[in-house]
Amino acid sequence: MFKTIGIISRPRREVLAMVVPDLLKWLAERGVQAIYDEETASCLRKPERVRSREQLAKEAQLLLVLGGDGTLLAAARTAAPRGIPILPINMGSLGFLTSFTREELYPALEETLAGRHATSERVLLRVDYQRGGKVEEEQLALNDAVINKGALARMIELELAIDGDFVCRYRADGLIVATPTGSTAYSLSAGGPIVHPAVESFLITPICPHTLTDRPVVVRDSSRVDVTVKGESEAVYLTIDGQTGIEMNSGDCVRVRRADVHLKLITPPRKSYFEILRNKLKWGES
């Protein structure tokens, strides 16, 4: 039984105002304490239990995410290291990770509080940004790590190595290293395959490669993937889950490995992964 639930939000404020007050009352009636971030508190007249997102992860036994996939991605990097499950409620339209609809909020909570929820464990990337052979920054990513050029820059040169073996040198707008969870995100837009979350793999997808024979590659997630910036590129950036950006120089390296932690994602027990794909991608519709 979850006694303390942390609420993380980032939808439009007017939507929150219609959902959160009743939600807090519903939880209190069931003896569950709710704590919440500043975005959630913004729709309350007298917020009393506001916490930073880092503090939410320390105090809560479950995180309830009200928003879209972007909100969940930010919450995942906080929740995964502490082993806290996330119950994601989609407050918008498209969302592969936030697979519960707004109408399913209370039924999903009922099932979860009763211990009848299904959980999917998702692999995360550990991303080390290196300069001069020294790790300058470490990040976790649920979807992907992307090395790409600035908006006005020319193509960049990137060298890919897997487990120390040279693979190739790309001339492209960038390169995506994604988890199976991230296969339905940027990688899919760049022409990468859809990979079931249970498949132990990383996807390496070039973005607009100069050579059309440079195609996406799938490797085991036990692999070590190194991407090094080559040549004199004008502007190159490393982006984590589309949210955290780091400017890179020639010679800098991004090392990607499977993280030691997993995300526990609560999923609809009566919706298969492929049903969600069909609905989101509108397969079979004319």
Sequence-distant (6+) residues with CB within 8 A of 138 are 126, 127, 128, 129
Residue 262 has pLDDT above 90, yes or no: yes
User: Residue 17 — very low, low, confident or very high, per pLDDT cuts 50/70/90?
Assistant: confident
Q: Residue range 282-286: average pLDDT?
A: 78
Query: How distant, in Å, are the alpha carbons of 132, 148, 277 from that of 190?
Result: 30, 12, 18
Gap between the Cα atoms of 179 and 199, Å rounded: 9
Q: What is the pLDDT of residues 222-244, one digit of tens each?
A: 999 999 999 877 789 999 999 98
pLDDT on residue 1? 75
Residue 112 amino acid letter: T
pLDDT in tens, 132-188: 999 999 999 999 999 999 877 788 999 999 999 999 999 999 999 999 999 999 999
Query: Which residue did the predictor score with more confidence, 150 or 38?
Result: 38
Q: What is the pLDDT of residue 11?
A: 64
Supply the residues annotated as catalytic: 69
Task: Give me the chain's average pLDDT, please.
Answer: 92
Q: Which residues of 252-276 are buried (b: 16+ CB within 10 A; e: fewer)?
A: bbbbbbbbebebbbbbbeeeeeeeb
Output the CA torsion 115→65→244→208 (10° steps): 90
Least-confidence region, from 93-97, 121-125, 185-189, 247-251: 93-97
How high is the pLDDT of residue 247? Answer: 94
Mean pLDDT throughout 62-73?
Answer: 93
Spell out the domains of the chain, with CATH numbers in brackets: 4-117+269-281 (3.40.50.10330), 124-260 (2.60.200.30)
Q: Which segments of 46-202 does DSSP mark as H helices, in order?
A: 53-59, 69-79, 105-113, 186-189
Q: Answer for the pair 232, 252: CB distance below 8 angstroms, yes or no.
A: no
pLDDT in the model for residue 13: 67
Q: What is the pTM of this model?
A: 0.93
Tell whether the torsion through CA atoms of 153, 155, 156 and 162 is positive or negative: positive
